[in-house]
Amino acid sequence: MSEPHPGGGFRPTKNMKWTKTYIPTLREKQADAELISHQLLLRGGYIRRLASGVYIYLPLMQRVIEKFAQIVREEMDAAGALEITMPVLCPADIWQKSGRYDVAGKDLMTMHDRHEKEFVMCGTHEETVTSLVAGEVKSYRQLPLNLYQIQVKFRDEIRPRFGLMRGREFLMKDAYTFDANQESFKNSYQKMVEAYYTIFKRAGLEVVKVEADTGAMGGEAAHEFMLLVDTQAGDQTIMFCDKCDYAANIEKAEFKDSAENKTDSDELSMETVDTPGAATIEDVSAFLKVKPQKLVKTLLYMADDKPVAALVRGDRELNEFKFKNATGAAVLRMASAAEVEELTKAPVGFAGPVGLSNVKLYVDSLVSDAKNFIVGANANEKHIKNVNLGRDFEASHISDITSATNGDCCPNCEGKLSTKRGIELGNTFMLGTKYSEALGAKFLNSDGKEQPILMGSYGIGITRTPQAALERYCDDKGIIWPKNIAPYLVQLIPLKMDSPEQVKAADKIYEDLRKAGIEVLYDDRNDRPGVKFNDADLIGLPIRITIGDKSLKDNKVELKARSEADMELVDLDKVLEAVQRLAEKVN
């Protein structure tokens, strides 16, 4: 028998008997695993931790990874992408040329060779693939082009956690499209989006596409493909409209302000007032007997070590992703208490825009619409009433820099926004010419004019996705794998390996299923039935066949889906047909 190999072609099927493989299951919960999925991979004998954020994939996990990678590979090929393999190490100078070396900061893992030449251990390969294309593609006749790889990546996470969900070393599929014009690029981008939906559907996962911030990747726009979960693994907040298909990551989500928050248009005279002991929005609102939306917070930050201020309404929270994009800073951090006092001559809590010199003021759009609001007076325990933008201070920049919240109005219709939690499984970026211009990837168009290539970037977490799936597909006993990424489809359990009748029946079923191309894990251990059942639930194969004396007397075996409580008795000579029928039903 043989099975597809992720590298292409076929190879002999791996041994499928428990005693000939390595599945070190654990009975106790693991103290270093916070997520359900991480616990289950450790306890099910799928992975072992070598160092912080670095894991060994054991035989069962290796099969899961290969199954998912093969699905990804098939759909990338079907979409016209061509597989290549790029080195993990690349010269640091191309990251410096792209401008990402400083932006990535300490997340970028670097090293020096014996000649003191600096290299980057890539967390993504935009620079590498663009350098390749810059040296090869010279004419529009060579476009469009779509190149992809499945490769190890590195990211020096400050706090690696959650197992394979946020590790320092991980496996990823990344694809890159190259196009001559916008029409061609849109077609390439849409092909990748459609391929993503197909990939995740084949893996048994229903995802939603949401608008996302481009972040350090840069470019014109981005989307993320999210698996919705209600566990703590949902590290992304997604805003959904209840009337239209608008969906966006909280980092990107836009909204319309509700009518009741609009303020009067008449400008009143400024008035400085004492606010003893009132430094927070709640305290000042209570002291002055006004709603929080009448106040404007002046939040001081350092953008590339230069002071900037964000002005947001009192009832709103600053969105640091939007704010960072507005400033264009590579590094953005909140100012320390000492820095705030040096800039404002007042303690934290009393900063305001009036008279605040040498600080760029980034004003949220909601503040720009407000009149007669209250701000800090840059003096201890004092605030200023009836402040107005344009009269009392000037904005350096006006844009949306606050986060959407539950109940906000949809930016596209009259619906309301609500939040759900999700796990990012994949992403797509409209890079435009960011990398092609920086790294010289240009071509001659049909008119003989040189122009930069339009690029797209597309990632899927090969190791992240299977673990994320377990946040949805598990119960209190263990894993329930979707069938297409399960390490084996069937677990075959004879209850007594010292029973010749049970072993004979198990051997026949094992061979019949293997000949039919069905992957079986044969539990041939001389262990108690309870141990075998517990391990079966823990490792979570989709279908279980149990052979015991009671059923065998009637020439039958027990057949059960891992996702269902009920089992059925099946005639020995009908097991293959019954398994095939059940396999069609399970996810």
pLDDT at 233 (0 to 100): 85
- Quickly state the pLDDT bin for 10 (edges 50, 70, 90): very low
Share of the chain above pLDDT 90, in %: 85
Q: What is the pLDDT of residues 414-438, one digit of tens each?
A: 999 999 999 999 999 999 999 999 9
Give me the torsion for CA of 406, 408, 411, 412, rounded to 10°.
80
- Quickly state the pLDDT bin for 259 (edges 50, 70, 90): low
Contact predicate 445/180, CB 8 Å = yes
pLDDT at 5 (0 to 100): 44
Whether residue 102 is predicted with pLDDT greater than 90 in this model: the reply is: no
What mean pLDDT do residues 185-193 have?
96
| Among the listed residues 567, 512, 524, 527, the one whose alpha carbon sits nearest the alpha carbon of residue 543 | 567
For residue 434, give both structure tokens.
């960011």
Provide Rg for the chain, Cα atoms.
Answer: 29
pLDDT at 2 (0 to 100): 44
Q: Quote the CA–CA distance of 139 and 141 in Å, as a whole number.
A: 5
Which range (156-165, 317-326, 382-391) has the least confidence? 156-165
With H, G, I as helix, E, B as strand and everything else as coil, classify residue 487: coil
Whether residue 14 is predicted with pLDDT greater than 70 in this model: the reply is: no
Q: What is the pLDDT of residues 477-496, one digit of tens each?
A: 999 999 999 999 999 999 99
Angle at 522 between CA 517 and CA 527, to 5 degrees: 175
| Among the listed residues 82, 83, 123, the one whose alpha carbon sits nearest the alpha carbon of residue 103 | 123
Amino acid at the residue 231: T
Helices 182-202 and 59-78, axial angle in degrees (round to 10): 140
Q: What is the mean pLDDT of the chain?
A: 93
Pairing of strands 520-522, 490-494: parallel
Q: What is the pLDDT of residues 279-288, one digit of tens each?
A: 999 999 999 9
Higher-pLDDT residue of 220, 115: 115
Whether residue 539 is predicted with pLDDT greater than 90 in this model: the reply is: yes
Backbone angles phi, psi at 568, to 5 degrees: -130, 150
pLDDT at 431 (0 to 100): 95
Whether residue 584 is predicted with pLDDT greater than 60 in this model: the reply is: yes
Q: What is the pLDDT of residues 120-175, one digit of tens each?
A: 999 999 999 999 999 999 999 999 999 999 999 999 988 888 899 989 999 999 99
pLDDT at 8 (0 to 100): 41
Q: Mind listing the domains of the chain with CATH numbers?
A: 62-252+420-470 (3.30.930.10), 259-399 (3.90.960.10), 488-585 (3.40.50.800)
pLDDT at 103 (0 to 100): 80
Q: Quote the CA–CA distance of 197 and 208 in Å, as a whole number.
A: 9
pLDDT at 261 (0 to 100): 54
pLDDT at 218 (0 to 100): 66
Higher-pLDDT residue of 216, 139: 139
CB atoms within 10 A of CB 503: 15
What mean pLDDT do residues 78-101 have?
95
Whether residue 216 is predicted with pLDDT greater than 70 in this model: the reply is: no
Whether residue 64 is predicted with pLDDT greater than 90 in this model: the reply is: yes
Whether residue 298 is predicted with pLDDT greater than 90 in this model: the reply is: yes
Higher-pLDDT residue of 566, 9: 566
